[in-house]
Amino acid sequence: MTRKACIIGGGVIGGGWAARFLLNGWNVSVFDPDPEAERKISEVLSNARRSLPALSDVPMPAEGRLIFAASITEAVEGADYIQESVSERLDLKHRVFAQIQQASHGVPIGSSTSGFKPSELQEGAADPSTIFVAHPFNPVYLLPLAEIVPSAKSDQKLIENAKEILREIGMFPLHVRKEIDAHIADRFLEAVWREALWLVKDGIATTEEIDEAIRMGFGLRWGQMGLFETYRVAGGEAGMKHFMAQFGPCLQWPWTKLTDVPEFTDELVDLIAGQSDEQSGQYTIRELERIRDSNLIGFMRALKDRNWGAGKVLLDHDKRRRASFHETGETGQGAPMVMAHMQVLPGWIDYNGHMTESRYLFAASETSDAFLRLIGADMDYVAAGHSYYTAETHIMHLGEAKLGDRLTGTIQILSSDEKRIHAFIRIQRGGEVVASLEQMFLHVDMKAGRACPAAPEVLAKLVPIAEAHKTLPRPEAAGRYTGERRK
């Protein structure tokens, strides 16, 4: 059954929440009295549809249904999760929570607030136990962090449930153990922002020069190692203690003005705005968003390839979704085994608008990897020193897969023995085979660097499948050589 999320407030953050839930298969209802809300959210959704699928290596679920409600009461009806993203006015948030709780009982209510503590949000609430902080970062549909801040009045079971919901939609819920103004991340941002204002005001640097200092230097380090791990490396072989001993004394030096706030005058605002216009005014906001999203995708996919930082969250999200439709385990159904479901993503497309050749090999790899996991030759097996290596592949391109196409990978075992698996893989779109791959896998002792018999427990799973597949018709393409004329 499709679950429903309710978004109260359809600005940049609310729209990002709506996109994150929708593209992960949730139905979403939105309430925002702004007559432009539908247009604004549609534009955010357009960017999300272009970017979020590119972070995934498994198909996105069918997109949920988006509803614009006429009232808060209508919006929250039947919701399994509610996210408040209205303006940062405590009195407004209190009124919104009161209306929500008149129509919804016991449902998690996260607030996108960047500054208020949960105990402040809960003041006067009919049921304070369901209200907590779930503070995301823009763009919500791409960046995984959500600071989860409960109070002493929060229902801990409800908080854990809310955290699991956020994991299911690909987010990283960071549980903040003590409530504090501005939570964790924004306190850093405020400190950097304050110092940046002084540097501009005092004529030391322009907005562009400050941005260059961040994105050409420590910003790249922070994006994959954070603050303390970065400084641990800076300490060299002696580690963090050496770093603290070497650089700790400079904390006493009057380098920054972090405890002093520049006077917020019209002159300062005009100075900042003018420099920002000169720096980035040639782009529209939508263009800047698309540039930002494209850069984030490249960076986050690099982290994903290395199972590091935000990449770990993406891999975990893929694993969760993959588990729902991989590995049927059926061996005797009179047909090849369905092992993988995939979707042609933006990064899979070549200059012709078709799925690029390397991705057919990737699709076959997804199919064969799922089969190897099924018979017990998984990553734990590899870590123990044995693996099946692809020794030979013959691929035939029979159709053209395009962006958004949903593909199925099936495998048929043509023959096997203690050391080899001869398999035939079909990549299908609906009932059409768009590519077939005939492959020979060789079982290898990785330390010795030579072929050896597979473990008995692996063969015990492989042999019954191979026996069942002997009754299947042999594919016409099996055994073909490159360039052989089709029959």
> For residue range 268-279, what is the model confidence (pLDDT) as tens digits?
889 988 988 898
What pLDDT, on the 0 to 100 scale, is given for residue 326? 47
CA distances from residue 317 to 63, 125, 428 in whole angstroms, order as listed: 16, 34, 24
Neighbours of 87 (CB within 10 A): 8
Q: Where are the beta strands (DSSP E) in 72-171?
A: 81-84, 109-111, 131-136, 145-149
Please check the confidence at residue 365 and state whether its pLDDT lies above 80.
yes
The predicted-structure confidence for 56-110, as pLDDT tens digits, reads as follows 888 888 999 999 999 999 999 999 999 999 999 999 999 999 999 999 999 999 9
Q: Which of 132, 136, 116, 115 is nearest to 15 (CA)?
A: 136
What pLDDT, on the 0 to 100 scale, is given for residue 74? 97
CA distances from residue 401 to 337, 365, 474 in whole angstroms, order as listed: 21, 17, 25
Separation CA 183–CA 150 (nearest Å): 11
The predicted-structure confidence for 342-354, as pLDDT tens digits, reads as follows 888 877 888 888 8
Longest dimension (CA), the chain: 82
Please check the confidence at residue 135 and state whether its pLDDT lies above 80.
yes
Question: Helices 37-51 and 285-305 sit at what angle, rounded to 10 degrees?
Answer: 30
Separation CA 453–CA 425 (nearest Å): 23
Compute the average pLDDT of residues 2-18.
96
Please check the confidence at residue 155 and state whether its pLDDT lies above 80.
yes
Q: Strand 4-8's sheet: what is its strand order?
A: 66-68, 27-31, 4-8, 81-84, 109-111, 131-136, 145-149, 172-175
Domains of the chain: residue spans and CATH: 4-175 (3.40.50.720), 185-282 (1.10.1040.10), 326-469 (3.10.129.10)
The pTM for the full model equals: 0.78
DSSP state string for 438-453: EEEEEEEETTTTEE-P
- Helix then strand then coil, in percent of the chain rounded to 5, is 45, 20, 35
Separation CA 159–CA 474 (nearest Å): 54
337 three-state secondary structure: strand
Tell me the pLDDT of the chain averaged across its residues.
Answer: 91
For residue 354, give both structure tokens: 């078709």
Separation CA 73–CA 381 (nearest Å): 53
Please check the confidence at residue 265 and state whether its pLDDT lies above 90.
no
The predicted-structure confidence for 213-255, as pLDDT tens digits, reads as follows 999 898 988 888 888 888 888 888 887 887 777 776 766 666 6
The predicted-structure confidence for 174-192, as pLDDT tens digits, reads as follows 999 999 999 999 998 999 9
- Provide the pLDDT confidence category of residue 327 given band limits of 50, 70 and 90: very low
Compute the average pLDDT of residues 112-140.
96
- Provide the pLDDT confidence category of residue 300 given band limits of 50, 70 and 90: very high
What pLDDT, on the 0 to 100 scale, is given for residue 324? 65
Separation CA 10–CA 18 (nearest Å): 8
Residue 403 is classified by DSSP as T
Please check the confidence at residue 487 and state whether its pLDDT lies above 70.
no
For residue 202, give both structure tokens: 């005092």
318 three-state secondary structure: helix
What pLDDT, on the 0 to 100 scale, is given for residue 2? 86
